[in-house]
Amino acid sequence: MKLRAVEKSGKTVEDAVRSALVELNAVYEDVEVEVIEEASKGFFGFLGSRPAKVRVILKDSAAKRAQHILKKILDQMELQVQMQVQEKENIVLVNMEGPDLGILIGRRGETLDALQYLVSLSANRHQEERKKIILDIEGYRKRREETLQRLATKLADKARQRGRSVVLEPMNSQERRIIHTTLQGREDVNTFSEGEEPYRKIIISPKK
The answer on 43 and 107 residing in a single domain is no
Mean pLDDT calculated for residue range 93-102 = 91
HSE value, Cβ hemisphere, 13 Å, CA-based, for 137: 21
pLDDT, residue 37, reads: 84
Q: Residue range 26-52: average pLDDT? A: 75
According to the model, what pLDDT value does residue 45 have?
55
Average pLDDT of the residues in 172-192: 94
pLDDT attached to residue 1: 45
Total count of domains within the chain:
3
Give the domain extent around 114. 62-138
- pLDDT of 17 > 70? The answer is yes
Please say if the pLDDT value at position 60 is more than 50.
yes
CATH of residue 131's domain is 3.30.300.20
Residue 62 has pLDDT above 70, yes or no: yes
Where residue 3 falls among pLDDT bands split at 50, 70, 90?
Answer: low
Q: Taking a C-beta distance cutoff of 8 angstroms, is the pair 189, 202 a contact?
A: no
Assess whether 96 and 111 both reside in one domain. yes
Last residue of a domain, one of 112, 138, 164: 138
Residue scoring higher pLDDT (33 or 157) = 157
User: Are 97 and 131 in the same domain?
Assistant: yes
**Which residue from 159, 155, 119 is spatially nearest to 135, judged by alpha carbons?**
119
pLDDT of residue 144: 94
Looking at the structure, tell me whether residues 40 and 102 fall in a common domain.
no
Residues 66 and 133 in one domain: yes
pLDDT computed for residue 82 by the predictor:
92
Whether residue 46 is predicted with pLDDT greater than 70 in this model: the reply is no
CATH number at residue 198: 3.30.1370.50
